[in-house]
Amino acid sequence: MSEEKQQTIGEELSAARQARGLELEEIQRQSGVSLSVLQGIEAGELDIIEPVFVRLALKAYAEHLDLDPEPFLSRFDQQYGRIMQARSRPVVVLSQPTPRRSHKPLIVIGSVIGACCILAVAFFYFFDNKQTPTQETETPTQETETPTQAIETPTQAIETPTQAIETPTQTAHVSSQSQPTTTPSDPSVESSTELAEPLTTGAAAQTTEPVPVILELEARDSTWVKIRWDDAAENFEAIVPPGERHRFEARDHFVVLSTRPHGLSYWLDGQLLGNGQLGDPDQVLHFRAAADGIEFITLDSQPSAGEAPDIQP
Given 26, 51, 86, which residue is the final one in a domain?
86
Per-residue model confidence (pLDDT) at position 13: 85
Asked if residue 241 lies in contact with residue 223, where contact means CB atoms within 8 angstroms, the answer is no
> Which CATH number is 60's domain given?
1.10.260.40
Question: Pairing state of beta strands 213-219 and 245-250?
Answer: antiparallel
- Nearest-angstrom CA–CA distance, 151 and 149: 5
Percent of the chain at pLDDT above 90? 20
Number of domains, the chain = 2
Asked if residue 13 lies in contact with residue 75, where contact means CB atoms within 8 angstroms, the answer is no
Given 50, 71, 86, which residue is the final one in a domain?
86
Q: Is residue 139 part of a domain?
A: no
Q: Is residue 111 part of a domain?
A: no
Mean predicted lDDT score pLDDT of the chain? 72
> Which CATH number is 287's domain given?
2.60.40
Per-residue model confidence (pLDDT) at position 30: 81
Q: Is residue 180 part of a domain?
A: no
In angstroms, the Cα distances linking 30 to 24, 40, 49, 270, 308 are 10, 18, 21, 38, 14
Q: Is residue 172 part of a domain?
A: no
pLDDT confidence band for 287 (50 / 70 / 90): very high
* Position 94 pLDDT exceeds 80: no
Q: Is residue 61 part of a domain?
A: yes
The larger pLDDT score, comparing residue 272 to residue 230, is at 272
* Position 53 pLDDT exceeds 80: yes
Per-residue model confidence (pLDDT) at position 213: 93
pLDDT, tens digit, for every residue of 179-224?
444 444 455 545 555 545 555 555 554 556 778 999 999 999 999 9
Range of the domain at 66: 9-86
Q: Is residue 57 part of a domain?
A: yes
The larger pLDDT score, comparing residue 85 to residue 154, is at 85
Given 86, 116, 151, which residue is the final one in a domain?
86
* Position 62 pLDDT exceeds 80: yes
pLDDT, tens digit, for every residue of 243-260?
999 999 999 999 999 988
pTM above 0.75, yes or no: no
pLDDT, tens digit, for every residue of 25-45?
888 888 888 888 888 888 877
The larger pLDDT score, comparing residue 86 to residue 284, is at 284
Q: Is residue 76 part of a domain?
A: yes
Q: Is residue 202 part of a domain?
A: no
